[in-house]
Amino acid sequence: MCLGIPGRIVAITDEARQMAMADVSGVRREVSVACVVDGPLDALVGEWVLIHVGFAMSRINEDEAARTLDALRELGEAQEALDAMAEGAKSLEGMS
């Protein structure tokens, strides 16, 4: 399964290589925008994209980005709860 993380393009970092700086929930990282360019690179600044392994794979709107980030947060919280339950089960096994 491939997971795309929403990020907002905040700057173009290398026009020749089609690289940009993306903000992903407050963390900034450089990504390739070659797959989503359909005009001037500067037009991407402020746009939301789905990022996978350093590549902006598709453009998305702000609402879709927010919904995806919420779902990812919920999945993270669910995983934390499952991990806590697993730790609790291990503790009970040690008592028997």
Q: What pTM did the predictor assign?
A: 0.78
pLDDT at 45 over 70: yes
CATH number for the domain harbouring residue 66: 2.30.30.140
Contact 31, 17 (CB under 8 A): no
Helix (H/G/I), strand (E/B), else coil: 20: strand
Boundaries of domain holding 68: 5-95
Number of domains in the chain: 1
pLDDT band at 89 (very low <50, low <70, confident <90, very high): low
